[in-house]
Structure 1
Amino acid sequence: MQVGVSTASSYWIGGTTLYMPNQWLWSDGSNSTYVNWAAGQPSSTSGCITPHIPNGLWYSESCETLKYYICEIQPSSSATTYPTRPPYSSACPPGWLYMEFPGKCYYFENKNTLYFNSSRARCQNLGGDLVTIHSFEENTIVAGLIMQLTKYVDFEAYNDIYIGLYKQPNNTWAWIDGSPVNFTYWGNLQNDQWGPNGTVTFLQFGIGQNFTWVPDEDSGDTYVFCEMTPQISQTNGVAYGHYENNIKEKDGFYGAGRKNRH
């Protein structure tokens, strides 16, 4: 799957009335046995279906509107069949969410807002650590997960979460787990603008921020976001990593987030 980031608020999928007037069909000609219309939709009996971000609800719009789009392709009959991962396990502790890519457990906590060192200490007390990111795809997955986990929190328009990238005494950046810094995603405030004072890093997930990173002097507090590597169980010689998802929609959610500093 090709993963990318854009500021688009909607995109095209294959639902349309182009093939049969007044009837919604998929682009392969099949009927829509599943629908996810927003309230008051479809707004017309003709057009194409466009889900809106972040809630995924469907809207009917003119098919002539320019938008990003999502494609799919059927695998060939010779494609390799991979074992199915059982859905639940104790590999991740209760309250942690497992993501198959990049194969880690994640935890979000908004009971308190903490500075970098305190955020890391909290993650370590839970058996994990602050997040490390090593590719554009992983950055997109992590940021999207944060967006999902915080959708019931009354954040302001610009928000960020500490990740585990910090500046060493020799003025170079390093991940807290010692892994190589083989990917960075600095935003408008480049890492050298802060000089020696920019010692830790936020991942920005506010509106228009595109999940970029910004250095900071550890002068702001945020909610806590942690990761851990799940335990691996062996089944018939195949390694599995599973998830235990006990995250509830509104439990423990406290309202306003930290104000934008910039």
Structure 2
Amino acid sequence: MFQPMLLLSLLLPLVSAQCGPGAVFQSSSSRCLTFFRTATDFQSAEAICATLNGHLVSIHNTIDNTFVSSQAQKYFDGSAWLGAKTTAPDVTNPLNWYWTDGTNFDYQNYRVGEPSAQGSTACMQLQTGTAKWLTANCTSQLPFICSYSSSVTPTCPTVTIPSHCPSGYTWYDETDFCYKSTVRFTSFNDARSACQADGGDLASIHSQTENQFLVELSKAGITNKDKGHNDDVFIGLIYQNSKWQWTDGTPVTYLNWGDGEPNNMEKEWWTSLVADPHEDRNTEDTRWNNVAQIDMRAYICKRAPLH
């Protein structure tokens, strides 16, 4: 195993400097990224990142995933460590994953067939050419990407995206709204309360493009085998006063029910987005299902931007 400071001194000359010595500035999250070509195991890579007062990189939305992978291709081909690791053998459950920087594991972009079990624990790698994720044994030797807070103003002016979303939210230009997918098994009412505490509500959807954006934001990248359908994502459509309504009060101008939905109207008055395909009902993939009063694995909040 490499000594962190020795390996750091050997590797820093290999990367370009745009955010202080040896880093790339990522304006969308105001952080610096450093790319290390020499392969090492996950634990050693995280220790090296700690010497920079950072961690292995975490990724929380499609924009950041595209940026990180495109920058990584400038330094190495193949795969590199991301900062995600499991706490249990079941790699298909997003709740078993965590980012070493302490942020929520709220976005995934798995390659087809992933994630795959690696024994008692697993770590995450980024396939730089495709921007897809796959699991690996944590003792594998891979290049890696560190992330740490920016303390240096970039020498080139950065483009300010007029999003001004709160931390954890992603701006969507077509709607000019901010969205956040939270991975936590919870009820519809508790999910809505959490969104309202953030100054918004459970997400309303008004077009196919907005629907697809939320699918990409919230999907786990797996095929659901739970026939109880608890692995979907709450949105804000409810059935009350004999009609479907958005909890944020916006008009129902778009519907995207799966085949045969809505059904069981005597008790299924809430709505989930099927962000990942179901093994038994693939026709619902990326569409909506009305559900009873059950917990879901995640929910999407929507709120106005700060500008």
Instruction: Give the TM-score normalised by the residue count of structure 2.
Output: 0.44
Q: Which runs of 5+ in 2 are unaligned?
A: 1-72, 80-110, 115-125, 131-157
Q: Equivalent residue of 1:141, what SS?
A: helix
The aligned residue for residue 99 of structure 1 is 172
Q: Which has the higher contact order (CA 8 A, sep 6+)?
A: 1
Identical aligned pairs, as a percentage? 26
The aligned residue for residue 196 of structure 2 is 124
Once the two structures are TM-superposed, the CA of residue 131 in structure 1 deviates from its matched residue by 0.4
Find the aligned partners of 2:175 and 2:271 in 1 and give their Cα distance.
20
The aligned residue for residue 290 of structure 2 is 215
1:159-198 paired onto structure 2 within 5 Å: 159-170=231-242, 172-191=243-262, 193-198=263-268
1:138 aligns with 2:210: yes
Once the two structures are TM-superposed, the CA of residue 225 in structure 1 deviates from its matched residue by 2.0
Per-residue CA shift, 1:92-119, capped at 9, x if unaligned? 2122222222221112323x41111111
Q: Equivalent residue of 1:137, what SS?
A: helix
Q: Equivalent residue of 2:218, what SS?
A: helix
| Residue identity in the other structure for 1:102 | T
The answer (yes or no) to whether the contact 1:157–1:206 under 8 Å persists in 2 is no
Once the two structures are TM-superposed, the CA of residue 37 in structure 1 deviates from its matched residue by 5.7
Q: Equivalent residue of 1:142, what SS?
A: helix
1:206 aligns with 2:281: no
Per-residue CA shift, 1:167-187, capped at 9, x if unaligned? 0122x1111122111111111
Q: Equivalent residue of 2:298, what SS?
A: strand
Find the aligned partners of 2:75 and 2:289 in 1 and give their Cα distance.
40
The answer (yes or no) to whether the contact 2:232–2:296 under 8 Å persists in 1 is no
How many corresponding residue pairs?
156
Q: Which runs of 5+ in 1 are unaligned?
A: 1-32, 40-51, 60-83, 233-262
Once the two structures are TM-superposed, the CA of residue 57 in structure 1 deviates from its matched residue by 5.4
Distance 1:197 1:124, change over 3 A: same
Per-residue CA shift, 1:66-85, capped at 9, x if unaligned? xxxxxxxxxxxxxxxxxx96
Q: Equivalent residue of 1:206, what SS?
A: coil
Once the two structures are TM-superposed, the CA of residue 216 in structure 1 deviates from its matched residue by 0.8
| Residue identity in the other structure for 2:195 | C
Q: Equivalent residue of 1:201, what SS?
A: strand
| Residue identity in the other structure for 1:95 | G
Instruction: Give the TM-score normalised by the residue count of structure 1.
Output: 0.51
The answer (yes or no) to whether the contact 1:103–1:230 under 8 Å persists in 2 is yes
| Residue identity in the other structure for 2:237 | L
Hey, which bits of structure 1, 4+ residues long, moved more than 4 A? 33-39, 52-59, 154-158
The aligned residue for residue 65 of structure 1 is none
Once the two structures are TM-superposed, the CA of residue 38 in structure 1 deviates from its matched residue by 4.5
Find the aligned partners of 1:127 and 1:94 in 2 and give their Cα distance.
13
Bigger fraction of residues in helix: 2
The answer (yes or no) to whether the contact 2:235–2:299 under 8 Å persists in 1 is no
Find the aligned partners of 1:206 and 1:184 in 2 and give their Cα distance.
18
The answer (yes or no) to whether the contact 1:115–1:219 under 8 Å persists in 2 is yes
Find the aligned partners of 2:76 and 2:238 in 1 and give their Cα distance.
43
1:228 aligns with 2:306: no
Distance 1:113 1:38, change over 3 A: same
The aligned residue for residue 87 of structure 1 is 161
